Amino acid sequence: MPDSKNLFKYIKSLLNPEKITEVKILETNSSSKLDRQMESIVKSPLLSRDLSWLTFNQRVLDQVQKPNLSIFEKLKFMAITASNLDEFFTVRLGSLYNYIDYGKQRIDYSGLRETQFRIKLLTKINEFYENRNQLYREELLPQFKENGFRIVDFNELTKEQQKEATDYFDSAVFPMLTPMVYDQTHAFPILLAKNLILGVVTRSKKSLLRAGEDDSRKLSFVQIPNNLPKFHTYIVNDEVLFLPMERIIIENVQKLYRNVKIESVDLFRILRNADFTLEESDDIEADFVDEIKQKIKERKVGRVVSMVIEDEPSNWMMKILKKRWEIDEYNIFVNKELMDFTRLWQIIGHPEFKDEMTAVRNVVPALNFDREKMQNIFSSLKEQDVLLHHPFNNFEPVLQLIEKAAEDPQVMSIKLTIYRLAKNSRITAALLKAAENGKHVSALFEIKARFDEENNIREAERLQKAGCFVIYGIGGVKTHTKLMLIVRKEGNKVVQYAHMASGNYNEDTSKLYTDIGILTTNPNYTKDISEFFNVITGHSEPQEYKYLITSPRDMRASVIELIQNETRNAKAGKPAGICIKINSLEDKETIEELYKASGAGVKIELIVRGICCLRPGRIGLSENIRVKSIVGHYLEHSRIFYFHNNGDPKVYGSSADIMVRSFDRRIESIFEIVDEFLKKQMILILKYNLKDNYNSYELKQSGEYEKIEAEGNVFNIHDEFYNLTKEEVATADLTKYFTKEVETEV
């Protein structure tokens, strides 16, 4: 029985859901002080960030079950979930271990302490693994043969095919492999994250003949280099056979261990903590770049956070590895299927199947910006602002603007922020050309963009050598805003051209991510952006911006003030409503203001693709808040804020999500949309997002998501945005979402 004091607190907590309450019900025992502590019972108004992310990855996995997708598109989503989970392990679980390993305290939004939460999180991840593996085994594998390919084992090959594989091993693979032994005279080798690794237990043949000798087993490792293909392929009678590279190596592994007996060979894969922090300095930039490079190297030896291994591994080996890496059963995941699902990209990209993916649809011109206007881009932008909605509208106008600016003798300077670039970036090429042509180029390069650090450092150094003024981020914060400013002399005056966006200056991802961007010569925008760059590159502190809201300066306060204005309107009996489309919602202060707005009667529609820590639909807390997530063919990446403002809506685009890191640890920007036609376009984007019943899920207060099923006509935004008309834009309105209960539109 729980003692009466704790029982009273527990009952009280159930009656007061607005307060986070962690109650420990203790078992009493007359013979001992405390035998054990039962699991904490938490009644929290907030959802766990990390558990919320796992539900997002589950929604990505759900795409595999869409009946209209080809097997290759299903494999694409399977591969995406695998790479997503890799990053989650290395960053989020890595961050959690930064607390556990160094004895620091952390309480998750769910109310659990760091050690409790580790068990909860890893248990949920294991459930995801089992679900994914079952889906792969039962639904995808049976479809392979009928679609012209199979993944095969070595013993399924013909004698001729086996000989070919063995010859390939002898000539190309064997020289690349290096057995690394671990014993009293050899240090434990550095095993790389994400590589497939063979753990090999051996004995000397001589020791097997000597009775009474101590355990002479030795453990060694063979890392399979990442530059080897993941599969060895055969084309037989219009069927492509994919033989995993590790099966060839395992079949021939004895060649690496002459005159010793191999007791066991186990295939595994590890992930390491890659969540590093920087002790940033105000000293010369070279020191900062060197520190980044050093941190990248340290990732290779970060603590192991997970291990995937095939079934029934050597107990002796596992005992050594668990002790060495300080992991337990929660960190270890058994995979009876394919060891690394990211390798499915090699199947998807095989030349035999190049036409099997859904064809990329032809982009449509921006509604007020056709090809003719793009040819005269400088004069066209002086006439009107342009909204680009990618990938439905091409990213080409942005590329054309910067490329023409690089060549145009009237352009004097180009300034922009860079977070992630395409591999063969036209942006970099244009900036190099501009510098070559004697123009002033300023690039704020964020070299701390996680997992893009090396590429960004390389590109930044190229620009610097060409004479560009490169700023390597700002100490203590990441530069995540997306802004560009071009200064052009036209006769006796200077005209400034600006671009503001939610997405990166990356022509590759612009074809895969939905994003919004504004091209403008509006002097109020360009003055704000010019002031912004002066703050970054020099020593300036503007009093205020007219249409720009920035972090870490004043973004949280400004967003909260916009929410509070809707709360005041609702209390005064005026029309009020909020609609926000973002990737993640995690900032506690903002969530609390949304709860207060809900309590005042403000109708709130949230479209949150991934992490959502707000708990919707709870009586007395958030019954006026609805949250939906859209996951489909394109990655939803646009950020749009709508505040009804008593019938005179305020609409904003943004580079920022509603997260602590966005408000406190990043340079971000929110930009108000003032052109009436563009404002209508943004409202229509939100309206279509709310109407979608094909890619949408609704978040329940339990933290689980429920798929929204179409009743009647299907409305798929990833199709509908290709068919927009100016007439539809002209009538765009969200008023009814805030004046009555809204059912899913069809």
Q: How far apart are CA 191 and CA 270, in angstroms?
A: 8
pLDDT of residue 70: 93
Average pLDDT over residues 294-320: 85
Residues noted as catalytic: 480
The radius of gyration computed from the CA coordinates of the chain, to the nearest angstrom, equals 29
Q: How far apart are CA 289 and CA 334, in angstroms?
A: 39
Of 141-150, 381-390, 472-481, 631-640, minimum mean pLDDT range:
472-481
The string of pLDDT tens digits covering residues 708-730 is 998 889 999 999 999 999 999 99
Q: For residue 731, which phi and psi values (nearest 5 degrees)? A: -100, 5
Has residue 25 got a pLDDT over 60? no
Point out which residues pair with 477 in neighbouring strands: 474
The string of pLDDT tens digits covering residues 556-609 is 999 999 999 999 999 999 999 999 999 999 999 999 999 999 999 999 999 999
pLDDT above 70 as % of the chain = 87
pTM of the model: 0.88
Q: Which domains does the chain have, with CATH numbers?
A: 149-351 (3.30.1840.10), 371-546 (3.30.870.10), 549-738 (3.30.870.10)
Distances 540 to 280, 500, 536, 550 between C-alpha atoms, Å: 21, 21, 8, 14
Q: How far apart are CA 236 and CA 244, in angstroms?
A: 17
Band of residue 523 on the pLDDT scale cut at 50, 70, 90: very high
Count other C-beta atoms under 10 Å from residue 594's C-beta. Answer: 25
The string of pLDDT tens digits covering residues 253-277 is 999 999 899 999 999 999 999 876 5
pLDDT of residue 420: 85
Distances 178 to 224, 255, 256, 275, 664 between C-alpha atoms, Å: 9, 11, 8, 29, 46
Q: Where are the beta strands (DSSP E) in 612-684?
A: 625-630, 635-636, 640-643, 650-654, 666-672
Q: How far apart are CA 35 and CA 29, in angstroms?
A: 7
DSSP element (H, E) containing 236: strand 231-236
Has residue 459 got a pLDDT over 90? no
Band of residue 21 on the pLDDT scale cut at 50, 70, 90: very low
pLDDT of residue 13: 41
pLDDT of residue 540: 62
pLDDT of residue 742: 47
Band of residue 362 on the pLDDT scale cut at 50, 70, 90: confident
